[in-house]
Amino acid sequence: MSNVVLIRPGCTDFDEQQRVQGTLDLPLNRRGQEQIRQIALELREVPLEILYTSPSEPARSSALAIGRILNVPVKELEGLRSFNQGLWQGLQVDEIRRKHPRVFKQWVEAPETICPPGGETVAGTLERIHRALEKPLKREIPFGVVAPEPLASMIACLVENRKLDLGESLCGTAKGSAWQILNWNGLQTRTTSVGASSALARAAGESPR
């Protein structure tokens, strides 16, 4: 069994305003920069050989800052780019909850069925996360992944081989730790297509064939 350190970026102004950021590249604000310094201090005793990061902001700048403090190399993975939330981007979470109550309830209860208007599907995002992390997981070295919500929650469910639960993780202020250690048991990196589809089906709450 290997451990993966999942790190959420520091906050942006959108996070503090409870707005959906999606693929919009926004810088860390002052509070976010302080959060990253604190995370780096907490990770000093945690084994890490490399940090993989989303190429999107603020994940990328968060990863670079942590890597610089800990003297750990950073590598961007295109498959970890932020989840495209289409026309939801820029809206406050309460706006989506109020204007689209049925869709918002579906996001909470059955997120694998959701595709934000003009955005990408959760199922498609899970597929690219799986492809991006398959090789790093096979190397069985201690590494970290820096990714924003809701991508971070998707990564946690895939790595720990459990049912997808996004809760209300539409933006970076979702409840949860700034960083956490995920236990990986190897189930996600079987080379057969059956193994891959089983892992994705489990994350989506389906029964693998």
Query: What are the domain boundaries of the chain?
Result: 2-203
Report DSSP letters for 14-63, one per residue.
HHHTTB--TT------HHHHHHHHHHHHHTTTS--SEEEE-SSTTHHHHH
- Written as tens digits, the pLDDT of the chain (209 aa) is 568 999 999 999 999 999 999 999 999 999 999 999 999 999 999 999 999 999 999 999 999 999 999 999 999 999 999 999 999 999 998 998 898 888 888 888 888 888 888 999 999 999 999 999 999 998 889 999 999 999 999 999 999 888 887 865 766 555 568 999 998 866 443 322 223 334 444 454 554 43
Q: Are 133 and 81 in contact (CB under 8 A)?
A: no
**Helix, strand, or coil (residue 181):** strand
Tell me the whole-structure pTM to 2 decimals: 0.85
CATH number of this structure's domain 2-203? 3.40.50.1240
